[in-house]
């Protein structure tokens, strides 16, 4: 039997998680946790998806690696950072600065013309962190790319039977957070070997709070 998990049910879980958490001196994130089942992680199961959230309170940080016209347009579109070939070359000689730089941004976009240099200078650091840049073709609308990634999150797990991701923060409406959670669940389901049959448990928590589980531990459907 399938139990439908709806946005209303997700909103109830979110409200419970928010109500149960203690007040802190910082704005806590609201996280979605999904546990999987009947997946052989030894066969290289991995998730590395970019999911655009319908509702956002704080945009993701995006760095553009480009020169010339694309670099100028990225600056005009207020990218969080724009770096060219000279900066990339400098990073290749300083791993410590490279790590600090990479940790500063959520997403990276790169002109296809500089992608080979990105791979050469930062690939060994970006790859394991799941932050390899998304290639942007010549003459593509960089502002549209920026807009999409600013409202996106990365859903990533490697050889693990669970995934956790931020769907917003505690200042957002429960209903908006539920919409985001539903979007993530739909994206994850499509990447599982047997879809929703591989989902064991869905939980919601705040940064410092305890996870709130869905009431019934049975197969779940949310499409």
The span from the CA of 82 to the CA of 74, in Å, is 7
Q: How confident is the model at residue 41 (pLDDT cuts 50, 70, 90)?
A: confident
Q: How confident is the model at residue 217 (pLDDT cuts 50, 70, 90)?
A: very low
The span from the CA of 5 to the CA of 219, in Å, is 10
Q: What are phi and psi of 137, to 5 degrees?
A: -65, 155
Instruction: Work out whether strand 134-136 and strand 107-111 pair parallel, antiparallel, or are unpaired.
Output: parallel
Average confidence (pLDDT) over 28-57? 92
The span from the CA of 175 to the CA of 178, in Å, is 5
Could you tell me what percent of the chain has a pLDDT over 70? 94
Which of 155, 112, 100, 108 minimizes the C-alpha distance to 127? 108
Could you tell me what percent of the chain has a pLDDT over 90? 78
Q: How many helices (H) and strands (E) does the chain have?
A: 7, 12
The span from the CA of 188 to the CA of 35, in Å, is 11
Which of 146, 166, 148 minimizes the C-alpha distance to 156? 166
pLDDT tens, residue by residue, 140-184 = 999 999 999 999 999 999 888 999 999 999 999 999 999 999 999
Q: How confident is the model at residue 1 (pLDDT cuts 50, 70, 90)?
A: very low
pLDDT for residue 215 is more than 90: no
pLDDT for residue 127 is more than 80: yes
pLDDT for residue 132 is more than 60: yes
Q: What are phi and psi of 146, to 5 degrees?
A: -60, -45
Q: How confident is the model at residue 218 (pLDDT cuts 50, 70, 90)?
A: very low
pLDDT computed for residue 29 by the predictor? 94
Question: Is residue 59 classed as helix, strand or coil in its secondary structure?
Answer: coil
Domains, the chain, ranges and CATH? Answer: 3-57+153-221 (3.30.190.20), 62-149 (3.40.50.790)
Average confidence (pLDDT) over 200-214? 94
The span from the CA of 49 to the CA of 64, in Å, is 19
Task: Report the side by side order of strands in the sheet with 29-36.
Answer: 162-169, 29-36, 199-206, 212-213
Write down the pTM of the prediction: 0.86
Other C-beta atoms within 10 Å of 158: how many?
13
User: Which residue's structure tokens are 């990276």?
Assistant: 108
pLDDT tens, residue by residue, 76-120 = 999 999 999 999 999 888 989 999 999 999 999 999 999 999 999
Q: Indicate the average pLDDT of the chain.
A: 91
Q: How confident is the model at residue 57 (pLDDT cuts 50, 70, 90)?
A: confident
pLDDT computed for residue 222 by the predictor? 53
pLDDT for residue 34 is more than 50: yes
Q: How confident is the model at residue 219 (pLDDT cuts 50, 70, 90)?
A: very low
The span from the CA of 60 to the CA of 21, in Å, is 25
């Amino acid at each position: 039997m399938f139990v439908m998990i709806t946005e209303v049910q997700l909103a109830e879980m979110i409200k419970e998680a928010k109500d149960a958490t203690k007040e802190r001196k910082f704005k806590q994130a609201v996280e979605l946790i999904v546990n999987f089942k009947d997946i052989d992680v030894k066969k290289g199961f991995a998730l590395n998806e970019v999911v655009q959230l319908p509702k956002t309170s704080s945009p993701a940080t995006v760095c553009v690696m480009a020169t010339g016209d694309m670099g100028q347009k990225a600056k005009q579109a207020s990218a969080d950072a724009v770096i060219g070939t000279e900066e990339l070359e400098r990073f290749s000689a300083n791993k410590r600065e490279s790590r600090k730089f990479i940790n500063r941004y959520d997403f990276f976009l790169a002109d296809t013309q500089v992608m080979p240099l990105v791979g050469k200078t930062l690939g060994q650091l970006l790859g394991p962190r799941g932050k390899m840049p998304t290639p942007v073709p010549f003459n593509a609308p960089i502002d549209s790319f920026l807009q999409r990634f600013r409202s996106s999150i990365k859903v990533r797990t490697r050889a693990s039977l669970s995934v956790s991701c931020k769907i917003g923060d505690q200042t957002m409406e429960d209903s908006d957070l539920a919409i985001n959670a539903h979007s993530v669940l739909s994206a994850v389901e499509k990447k599982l070997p047997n879809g929703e049959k591989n989902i064991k448990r869905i939980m919601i928590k705040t940064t410092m709070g305890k996870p709130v589980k869905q009431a019934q531990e049975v197969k779940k459907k949310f499409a």
